[in-house]
Amino acid sequence: MTELEMEPIEMEPTPGAPTPEQPELEEPKPGNSWGRIAIWAGLLLLLALLAIMLKRTQEGHVQVGQSASQFTLTTFDGENYDTADLAGKVIVINFWASWCKPCEQEAADLEAAWRFLQDRGDVVFLGVDYVDTETEASAYLAKFDITYPNGPDKGTKISQAYRISGVPETYIIGKDGMLAAVQIGPFRSLDQILSIITPLLEQ
């Protein structure tokens, strides 16, 4: 072997260093993929909720002559009223809130109508408190001496079923379970309330 001919020297690889046969791979960051999944899931849920709200807005209020949605109302006193168990009676459903000034305009007349009709046994008044606090709601009921059953609309399930646009709104169900009358805004007088309910009781 001449001086110019030298044996190749094999270099020992440095521990941890990449070799030509084994390129260095970037380790995935932990939790990165789960974060993206959570973001997409949240966006899809938001879009679904917006679609439901848009559909309800386009549908408008429930219409007279439609079958009334059934629900269970748990009152502030802990009693349960299931409209399915009230079949054969006229049901007056009043949506209200303690912060609603127009609700105050009809509160005394609704209570007077209830006291006038309750002994018949074939009519039920249900007050559905919308987006409120129990403390304020209880103070409102005491202020107007309201004695018919009232309870909170938990999760706004009842108001969504009736597609209300605000308060006060009142939905009256006939003995046949069909929606017989709708009052958007406050009743003007006791006579107006009785003029709507009394004919339904005679059917």
60 within a domain of the structure (yes/no): no
pTM score: 0.72
Structure tokens at 59: 């549908």
Range(s) of the domain holding residue 179? 72-201
37 within a domain of the structure (yes/no): no
25 within a domain of the structure (yes/no): no
Question: Taking 70 as the threshold, does the pLDDT of residue 99 lie above it?
Answer: yes
93 within a domain of the structure (yes/no): yes
Question: Taking 90 as the threshold, does the pLDDT of residue 48 lie above it?
Answer: no
User: What is the mean predicted confidence (pLDDT) over 177-202?
Assistant: 97
194 within a domain of the structure (yes/no): yes
Domains: count for the chain:
1
Higher-confidence position of 17 and 189? 189
User: What is the mean predicted confidence (pLDDT) over 160-184?
Assistant: 97
| Domain at 179, CATH number | 3.40.30.10
| Band of residue 169 on the pLDDT scale cut at 50, 70, 90 | very high
127 within a domain of the structure (yes/no): yes
| Band of residue 2 on the pLDDT scale cut at 50, 70, 90 | very low
